[in-house]
Amino acid sequence: SQQGEEDPQALSIQEGENATMNCSYKTSINNLQWYRQNSGRGLVHLILIRSNEREKHSGRLRVTLDTSKKSSSLLITASRAADTASYFCATDEGATNKLIFGTGTLLAVQP
Amino acid sequence: EAEVAQSPRYKITEKSQAVAFWCDPISGHATLYWYRQILGQGPELLVQFQDESVVDDSQLPKDRFSAERLKGVDSTLKIQPAELGDSAMYLCASSRLAGVSHEQFFGPGTRLTVL
């Protein structure tokens, strides 16, 4: 079962522009993580934000978390063609730290 | 840089046949996960191991799927018999500890096609 839904399902932008993806989830969480998946490959961890944090930065990535709205956003600034991939949010809940992934946003960055 | 290894990368089989996938996690990672990812969707957890013990297999179709991690290191996921609906990417991941929030490290996956 999928916990979250991501919006938009697909996004196409030009190199240099910013890309924003949103994630909504349903239940209380320990933390929320974002992963990137290049076509046909495994997932790569991007960033983890804990439930008591509101914003986190890592390089060109900025993640926000609003637990009252059960939502998160991922901002990629100054996008590059190499950022073309699917991006998934995943919520970590319960004692076993089981990750439940969203449906993903397919980002295409045009050179 | 240490990586999660999976084999085979691709597997084509006919329905009703048995298939097996292998995963070798990053050395020292106590927790191992098997996910199934259907095209166009996010990964869904099938089974989670802490060392050699199963922590969560609530989404594992136990009538046809089995998983083991006998020595608490590498792991095998088996499907018998395979069905058309099992066509998907099977991903293995590992993390250092359960009970503490950690990132998961994913292998390249095994793409299964059932004909």
* Side chain identity at residue A53, one-letter code: E
For A20, counting Cβ atoms within 10 Å of its Cβ (0-12 exposed, 13-18 middle, 19+ buried), the class is middle
According to the model, what pLDDT value does residue B2 have?
84
Strands A105-110 and A10-14: parallel
User: Would the CB atoms of A97 and B99 count as touching at under 8 Å?
Assistant: yes
Distances in Å between the Cα of B85 and the Cα atoms of B36, B38, B42, B63 are 11, 9, 16, 14
pLDDT at B101 over 80: no
According to the model, what pLDDT value does residue B33 have?
95
Chain segment A27-73, per-residue pLDDT in tens: 888 899 999 999 878 899 999 999 999 999 999 999 999 999 999 99
- Rounded CA-CA distance A100/A92 in Å is 7
Contact present, B104 and B20 (Cβ < 8 Å) = no
| Candidates B7, B48, B103, B112, partner chain A, best to mutate (most A CBs within 10 A) | B103
pLDDT at A3 over 90: no
Residue A100, chain B, CB below 8 Å: the answer is yes
Contact present, A4 and A25 (Cβ < 8 Å) = yes
